[in-house]
Structure 1
């Protein structure tokens, strides 16, 4: 594992990143909820981008990976602010955003906040509005009451530790929703979704496709692919989608 560089944001957070120089438009990888930039997709795409001579950037949101702050203190708005500052500071010109799971939501926020810096989008099991439509909608009345009373609850996860879901995460998420208002995406967009994904449903992918507005959007379903979307054929599909988006941008 190579040592990352760090960007100190305007809020004082220290964001770890790896940047590869190359031709533009560059590629920015945005990871998922409680994941980090050393995951399979990010590392594989970095090597692929190098083979293409393409500029590439991967980073850890605050509270994730090697960046500063605690995960439980963060929220979608914080991580979107991190992403925006990273893109504006560490890249030049329009970029192709590759967003995985929560990174898909944050990528969509970037398309609305800094549209001049986005020329294409590849969403991998994109999870827009999941704090509201996933967590909050799925909570029992007892869980909602506990969240309000205690400020957080623990949910089981597929990983070593449970997810700690905070009241702030839910409340801040309501200020970041993208499926309740128009979502123009005036550039090539490719959404990729596995049918065996137990975290983000095919119905969510279809809802996003139907809600967004754009002249060049496609959704590809991969039979049997899970949420990680990291099998060799899935990685090749991501790369091919980036090439297609870049060629059509």
Structure 2
């Protein structure tokens, strides 16, 4: 994942570990003049190690844009994002952030296992190890039987679970999930969130899930509420409970 080289930020007051990500007075606009769209307005927040956060708000509130800037996939037009607790590689950029995208993200020419393995191979993980890690991640999500299927043979819900497996196989320190259950029925959604929470526990990773679903947000101890591009409330104390 490419992105700017992270700056080193000091530890958060009151915490033993530095933040994984800091967002300081960040804004993001698109277009110019009458066509200007303000997606994010003056947001400041930090992600503690092992955080469990539900990022809530209506469509168009800026949730996806904020997650993309945290992942280094988009650049603020004002303010700064830094990654004091995330490794950086001179060639590949940020290492240790996994993103589950809202829309389709599988490569159609590769089968399910190859799609899950690909990010690992880019990081010079050996092919046998990548295959094992891919198989484990697919089994955890209950889709091991789809290992050799092509993306166009999958339902939308199955494809989204493969995308989650691809992130889990990489064992990130921070998992950013952008509406990961939007295409799933209730049972499959509960499974995916349960797997994300368990994987974050197993990995010692932080987890941020953007969602419209109150049943999903209730499963995470901290809520960031966004509206009109602004962060209007932070409720909970996940870094205290999940250290």
TM-score after normalising by structure 1: 0.32
Higher helix share goes to which structure? 1
If asked which structure has higher relative contact order (CA below 8 Å, sep 6+), I would say 2
TM-score after normalising by structure 2: 0.32
